Chain A
Amino acid sequence: MTENIIEVRDLVKHYPVTRGIVFKKTIGQVKAVDGVSFELKAGETLGVVGESGCGKSTLARVLMNLERPTAGQVLYKGQDISKLSGGALRRLRRQIQLVMQDPYTSLNPRMTVGDLIGEPFEIHPDVAPRGSRRSKVKELLDLVGLNPEHINRYPHQFSGGQRQRIGIARALALRPEVIVCDEPVSALDVSIQAQVMNLLEKLQAEFGLSYVFIAHDLSVVRHLSDRVAVMYLGKMVEIGTEDEIYERPTHPYTQALLSAVPVPDPTLRDNKAIIRLTGDVPSPVSPPSGCRFRTRCWKAQDICAQEVPLLQIRRGSDHPSACHFAEKREIVATHEAA
């Protein structure tokens, strides 16, 4: 459990904002991910939560090496993946696979399920010799709970939850060590969402997979994750075990986020202490100076505008938090519900 399979160091990804067509000129940077460090251990699930625009999907893209980082490193077993190319990169890609959010647009409508799931074998012929591919695909279909006889069907003949299973089967085809799941259940209905979450857990136990599980739904993340990282506007504001983040959060943003989660229990509606944040997330083109959360934070002081709080373990706490005034606070009565 202690070996680091992925290590991310000071990862930065900026996208240029340009003006003009002929005389294109860069007028700013969207600071999508701005200095993020963490590690993923073998066999664990790291949940990444945050609201839209916080950089979680950009993080997924950089982890997959679909985007080259502006600065910083992503190390897979000590090897910097953004430096790889050609055959070495192709070999690495086998080890890290992606499950995408939208099962409707991430599957080519003109390919059969067999072709979709079998496509990775075309690119990596050494994994499965040509003759055995169809039976491998059938095996994968069975594994994710689909009928192997549906191998010749097209994506439109499946429901949303089934399509997400196809996406998972495709990610599993090359027997990767790491799967990055970018909002894998957020497009699904509750009853279907639970089926897919159970499947992900089963597969992890069976193949010893490591997951980076990106989602905005905090209860989904809690259910699946061993450790959780909270992101806000391109920065990681708090990271810790599932218990540390959900039971003893110290960053005001984490506290506000957790308290805003609607609890499916009407008897708690009157005694919930909900922290109401005002306003919206600022633009990642010109984030606030110092702490990026200060414009919505009720604890903000002068120091928050001047000094960027580092993600470090602070007094009276057991896990890193990027707040000058990090402290424990009693959150909603979620866990006392039972």
Chain B
Amino acid sequence: MSEQSAPGADGSGRPSGRLLEVDDLRVEFRTRDGVAKVINGVTYHVDAGETLAVLGESGSGKSVTAQTIMGILDTPPGFVTGGQVRFHGKDMLAMSAEQRRRIRGEGIAMIFQDSLSALNPVFTVGFQIAEQFRIRRGMSRADAKKRAIEMLDQVKIPNAKGRYSNYPHQFSGGMRQRAMIAMSLALDPEVLIADEPTTALDVTVQAQIMDLLGELQRERQMGMILITHDLGVVADVADRIAVMYAGRIVEEADVYDLYAKPAHPYTLGLLNSIPRMDEKGQELRTIKGLPPNLMNIPPGCPFNPRCPMAQPVCREKLPPLLQVGRSRASACHFAEELVNRD
């Protein structure tokens, strides 16, 4: 399947000059109850200065992909069973733990959803940021503290100097997320993975944090992978979108194309089910049914039991992610029909 995958990824293995590429990644979770196939051939890439949004519902595999890229997948139960994650063309999954450690933080950094559990409660926020400068950059305590305060200042934490010696619980949710951003950007990474960075925050604070992320990304020309389920946030910041369903990318497209005309019935269903401020009083168009059990993914297209367009072929043949038009790919047998309808 990898030879006919997403646009941009050429399965031939020659260096394509991409910053970060995930190529036909497969991950399964081996549990007492059976094997859950969580990621079933995910391919995407991100370049410098670009924002790729990975959109999906719970259990679609979006966070597990990120954990695999970072090398923080819980093993066991999680096992990588195939595929590559290439950073500057080199497969990270084949690297030694030491080599990977060097990439973490400086090459690729990550922000987590729940800042309260991601920060260590028994160390001050400042210490946790300064630690990186001491260990990775060999700075003295005093220098590291100075740099950490600069970082807190950059993420617009008021009174950064005073806040340096606060503990995580003394910060509000928004402030903690800022501190997390400061921490992940401390070593100037080339790629930032933001896993639901604003899901736990209120809308007004969410707007502040997304602004800050956008600003820092532009300044540093970072590649960003934004993992989210929020179609509103995606529309505001993404350049490209990869939609995931049951451990696969079902559609990848430029943000404008995707919202204007989705090329996969799942994307269409998602877009239809958001209550829009401008369409009140009508019944919401829903996607019927539930996402599949990952231990028992239906044969053919995994979306077929919920799909309003499903045909016999969908129950038999798994649709590969194929290019449709110039800037998009869809894993639907009827992608052309979807895009060409009016």
Roughly how many angstroms separate A242 CA and B174 CA in the complex, as a whole number? 29
Check B13 for interface membership: any CB of A closer than 8 A.
Answer: no
What per-residue 1/0 map shows which CB atoms of A325-336 lie under 8 Å from chain B?
000000000111
Question: Known contacts A190-B229, A335-B277, A337-B278; is A52 also within 8 Å of B202 by CB?
Answer: yes
The closest CB in chain A to the CB of B241 belongs to A266
> Does any Cβ of A come within 8 Å of B12's Cβ?
no
Q: How large is the interface on A (under 10, 10 to 19, 20 to 34, 35 or more residues)?
A: 35 or more
Within the complex, what minimum Cβ distance (angstroms) separates B62 from chain A? 12
A290 to B56, CA, bound (A): 44
Is B35 interfacial (CB-CB < 8 Å)? Answer: no
A204 at the interface (CB under 8 A from B): no
Task: Tell me, yes or no, whether A223 is within 8 Å of chain B by CB.
Answer: yes
B287 within 8 A of A: yes
User: From DSSP, what is the main secondary structure of chain A's interface residues?
Assistant: helix
Question: Are B57 and A189 interface neighbours, CB within 8 A?
Answer: yes
Q: Which of B236, B270, B271 contacts A262 (CB 8 A)?
A: B236
Q: Within the complex, which residue of A223, A246, A263, A338 is in contact with B284, where a contact is CB–CB below 8 Å?
A: A223
Instruction: Tell me the residues in window 38-73 of chain A with beta carbons closer than 8 Å to chain B beta carbons.
Output: 51-52
For chain A, residues 209 to 258, give those with C-beta under 8 angstroms from any C-beta of chain B. 216, 218-220, 222-223, 242, 246, 256-257
Residue tally, chain B, CB below 8 Å to A: 49
Assembled-state Cα–Cα distance A53/B109 (Å): 31
Question: In the complex, how many angstroms separate the beta carbon of B43 from the nearest chain A beta carbon?
Answer: 23
B278 x A216 contact (CB < 8 A): no
Q: Does A18 sit at the interface, judged by CB under 8 A?
A: no
Interface residues of A in 93-147 (CB under 8 A from B): none
Number of A-B contacts (CB under 8 A): 132
Q: How far is the CB of B63 from chain A (nearest CB, A)?
A: 14
Contact B175 A280 (CB under 8 A): yes
**B340 on the A face (CB < 8 A):** no
A200-213 CB mask vs B (1 if < 8 Å, else 0) is: 01000000000000
Mark the stretch among B71-79, B114-122, B205-213 that contacts chain A. Answer: B205-213
How far in angstroms is the closest Cβ of chain B from A32? 17
Are A191 and B202 neighbours in the complex by a CB distance under 8 Å?
A: no
Assess whether A320 is interfacial by the CB under 8 Å rule.
Answer: no
Verify A218–B273 contact, CB threshold 8 A.
no
* New A-B pairs, 18, CB < 8 Å, besides A218-B277, A219-B274: A51-B202, A51-B204, A162-B290, A190-B229, A194-B273, A194-B275, A194-B287, A242-B280, A260-B204, A260-B206, A263-B232, A264-B234, A266-B256, A269-B237, A277-B204, A337-B277, A337-B278, A338-B276
Nearest 3 pairs of A and B residues by beta carbon: A262-B232, A194-B273, A223-B275
